[in-house]
Structure formats: C-alpha cells, structure tokens
Amino acid sequence: MAATPDAARPSPVYPTGQIPTGQIPTGQIPAGPILVPGRTCWRVAKADRMAVIIDAAAYFARIKEAILGARHTVMLIGWDFDTRIKLEPEDPIPDVPNELGDFLSWIVRTRPELTINVLKWDLAVLKMPFRGRTPLVLLDWLSSRRLRFRLDSAHPPGACHHQKIAIIDDALAFCGGIDMTTDRWDTPDHRDGDPRRMRPSGEPYGPFHDVTTAVDGEAARALGELARERWRRATGEALLPPPPTEARWPEDLEPDFRDIPVAIARTDPMADDEGRDKTGKRGVREIEALYLAAIAAARRFIYLESQYFASQRIVGAIAARLSEADGPEIVVVNPERAPGWVEEEAMGSARTLLVGRLREADPHGRFRILAPVTEGGQGIYVHAKVLVVDDRFLRVGSSNINNRSLGLDTECDLAIDCPPGEREEESENCRAIRSVRTRLMAEHLGVAVAEVERMEEGTGSLTATVDRLMRASGRSLCPLEPEPLSEAEVALVDERLLDPDRPEPMAETILRGVTLFGDVNRTAWRIGAGIAAGAALGVGLALLARRNGRRKKMRGE
C-alpha cells in the first residue's frame, strides 16, 4: 500500500521531493540519532531521574505527594480537570483533603508562599455531551490570587489544547497522557467492577489504562518554560520562573532512568520553532517528524499504544515498512471502541479502513492490532500514548495516532533514544526501556513480566510472544477485526473532515462537509447534527465562562 499522496504538505523528516509523504524508502535505515532538535524535537534536556508511571492510581498519588512538597509554584496544564475527583480513593493521606479542588484550596491556605496556576482547554465541553458528563464543573471553583484557574482559547478554530503537564517549582515535572479528571483513575489490575472506579455522581465507569512520566533536572525546567509560554499565550500574563529549588522526588517512585537526555517534542499550530506565537503560519510539527523518524529507524520491532489508530500519514509509513522483506514487526494496542458515537464514527471508521489497507500491505504477517480485556471479558479503555522501537527508543506523551495530533491540536511528548551504535543488550538505558515495555505487555496479557521475557527469549519475536501468550478467555489481548464501512464512512476518513491535520477556515470545513455528505446517507447527517449541537453548546458555555471571568475581574477577585 502506498501512503495517501499529499504534495502540498511535504514530510518534515526528509527533504521535499525525496520521497512521497508518509513513506519510508524500502531497505534504507536512516543513520544517526532519531532525536534532532529543531526537526524531530524542540530541545533535548538532561533529567537526573526519569520514571514511567503506568495508570492513574499511581500518578494521582504521586502528583498529590509532589504538590504537598511544593515550595513556590505549581502549574497544571491540561485538556480537562475535574475538581471533584478523589486523588486516592482508598487509604488517603490523613488530615489532607482528598478531592482535587478541596486539596488545592487547602494547600494554598496552609502555604502562604505557594501559588497554583491551572490552565484548561476552554472547549473541552464539546466532547462532554457525547460522554454524559457535566460540562464546566470547574466554573464552580472560584479562583483566588494564589489559586488561579484559567480557560485556554489560544488555538485555531476546531483545534484543542491537549497537553497534559504538571510542573512543581521547575524542579519536578510530569508529562504524558493522563488528565486529572473523571473516568481516569484505575490500577494495573483493571479489576472487573472495582468499586473505587466511581464518578463524582456515584456512577461507576469501566477499566482505564494510561501512562505518564516524571522528570527532574534540566528537563523539568524546560517543561516549566513551555508551560509558562502556554499560560502567556492563553492569558496574556508572563509568569516569572520560580527561584532555583531542589527537586523533592516522590519517595516511592523508583526512577527507570538516571542522567538521561530527554527530548521534548511538540505539535503546535500557532508557534514557531522557539515556541513564540505566530498565528496563521504553519506551526510546529515535531511530533509528526518524530513518529516518522522512529518508524524509519526500526530494525526489529515497533510497539505502539494509542487511543486511536487513524493517522493516514503514520499508517502510510508503517505500511511501507511492512512491505519490506526484512522489515520490523509491529504490535499496536488500542481500545476496542471509542467512548462516544461521534468519536467512533470518526476514529473507529478511520481505524477500520486503515487497518484493512495495512493488512493488504503485510504479505509477511508481521502486523498485529490488539485490544486488552479484563478477566471477565470487558474492554479496557486504552488512553496511553506510548511508542517503543527496538528497545532503544521510548516516547510517552499526549499525542495520539490521529491526524489532528500531528498538526492541529497542541501536544507535548517526551522521548529518549540510546546512542546510535550502542548495543541494546549492553546498554543500561536500553534495558530500562525493555523493562517498561515488558511491564506494559505483561499488564495487558495478564501474565508476569518474567513470563513475557522468557517467551521473547525463546521465540526471538514480539508477534510470536504475543500470539503464544494470548488467551481465548480471561485477562488478555484480543485481535481487533475491521468491520464493514458505509460509503459515507469511507468518505469521512479520506476527507479528514472530523480529523483534520491542519487549521483551516471554518467556512471551508462546513462547505466540504455539505459537498461531501449532501446526498450520501443518514449516517452523515447524524454526524453533522452532532457536530453542530456540540459546537453550539461549547460556544455558549465558553461565552458563559468568559462572562464569569470578566465579572470576577471587575470585582477584583
């Protein structure tokens, strides 16, 4: 299968005209490092310690501990926050509030030297009508001079702010895929009917898998700089960095890496290479370049976890590698379905179409796409965004395998890469990457890490290991099979109407939608009606939020 042609948008990894966008030259493995500042990442900064945190139970407990140790500033930058969530549903710290909003309010009252700034995408409510959530819960949380909540509207029409970053004193930072909101908390056990998985409304939600990272040192300071720039663009206020502070690393968080160069990669449609605002220009697409470079560099395997599998450019690059006689094995872990019908129509249809095309391009049978299930057979929702290549490269962040994460939404990923030529089996960092990957695979397969390692050593193959450890029932991974698509759904994917990869005028989007779906079928009209209703609700609620903000400003709050 050839990648979808797109001459107007050349690959940021290779010079214009060298290869078609999204394709990798067969048989050619790029020499040199994957991480190239200014091309595949913003910058590379050293972390004294770095840990990969799997699932939100571990993350919520550790960020609570980190905020308790903060001395000057806390910055929370995210797609969504819900102040009602319990950070530790079981055995919380005594005498410390456990709900997010109460906890943050309490800590600024008890620490007069501490300031907390929270920035949330202003139109996160667009998704809420399709997920049954109460929109703009945070409007009930009154900001103060030292606990400030702001909505972020500094993005092109149709885009969203999707970064998930927490900065403590510029000394410790968390960056990955986990939002501090409802439906996120879970443990690696993903127990059926776990009573701790409960929304603030008292309604249970299903098992949920996610991943983030913790870093300190220069890497944490660089993320602090990025977060302050995001705050400045959203609010117009330039925040000063905090005074130098020694990192208070969470006591029970064992670092996976030490003294490691960490790359920060971004998608930002409104920034130049230095992160400055440049509205209306092409923007930064480092994450797209990083994906393509990592796929191109793979020799043995690619292990990928993502909420979606819908990017035509990324799938085109994978297809080119699968067509090689000695190309890498590829294992993709996805959720069974998207959480809402609009997302399922957009992302689910894209996955179905692209997986079908991938299988046509896989004559050697090296591709697997799988979904995890609980002991009772319930689907575990995969929200993680992880890429491992040959146990020499690791990337964790906020970006999904969909078009908008590559050029339209604001994203932030962290990545590490063992030096070129370093033998994976002899490198401490490569062994640590392998440890992270086998922990993830063991969690999904419902087996011990040692069993994954033994099977890999015996088979010498990632796909063979997965094939032999999968079970027909109980906790395991299950193959995902494409379902038939309607004519409208195929057109929806090919036109990228609900999943664009670049900003475009709203009028152009509406015109394309009318032209494409004007006389197709009922499915298209359901999608269009849902988008219109969600947009109307989102705009109304955003205007309400801004009006409330103006009233607070007039009152001097």
Residue 11 lies in a domain: no
Res. 95: pLDDT tops 70: yes
- Is 341 part of any domain? no
In a domain, 173, yes or no: yes
pLDDT band at 42 (very low <50, low <70, confident <90, very high): very high
pTM: 0.83
Q: Write down the pLDDT at residue 520.
A: 44
In a domain, 269, yes or no: no
Mean pLDDT of 281-295: 91
- Residue 347 confidence class, pLDDT cut points 50, 70, 90: confident
Residues composing the chain: 557
How far is residue 320 CA from its own chain's centroid?
Answer: 24
Share of the chain above pLDDT 90, in %: 62
Identify the pLDDT of residue 541. 45
pLDDT at 271: 76
Does a structural domain hold residue 268?
no
Is a pLDDT exceeding 80 seen at residue 525? no
Q: Which of 67-76, 363-372, 497-506, 543-552 has the lowest mean pLDDT?
A: 543-552
The dihedral region occupied by 331, where left means phi > 0, alpha psi between -120 and 50, and beta the remainder, is: beta
For all residues of the chain together, what is the average pLDDT? 81
Looking at residue 284, its pLDDT comes to 93
In terms of residue numbers, what domain contains 181? 46-252
The SS3 call for residue 46 is: strand
Instruction: Give CA–CA dist 224/170, Å, rounded.
Output: 5
- Considering the domain boundaries, does residue 228 fall inside one? yes
| Residue 295 belongs to a domain | no
> What is the CATH classification number for the domain harbouring 124?
3.30.870.10
* Total number of domains constituting the chain: 1
Tokens 């990669």, residue located: 265
Q: Summarize pLDDT for 353-362 with one digit per residue, the tens.
A: 889 889 999 9
Give the pLDDT mean for 190-207. Answer: 96
Does residue 166 sit in helix, strand or coil? strand
**Those residues with Cβ within 8 angstroms of residue 536's Cβ, 6 or more apart along the chain or in another chain:** none
Does residue 156 lie within any of the structural domains? yes
Q: How many Cβ atoms sit within 10 Å of the Cβ of residue 38?
A: 12
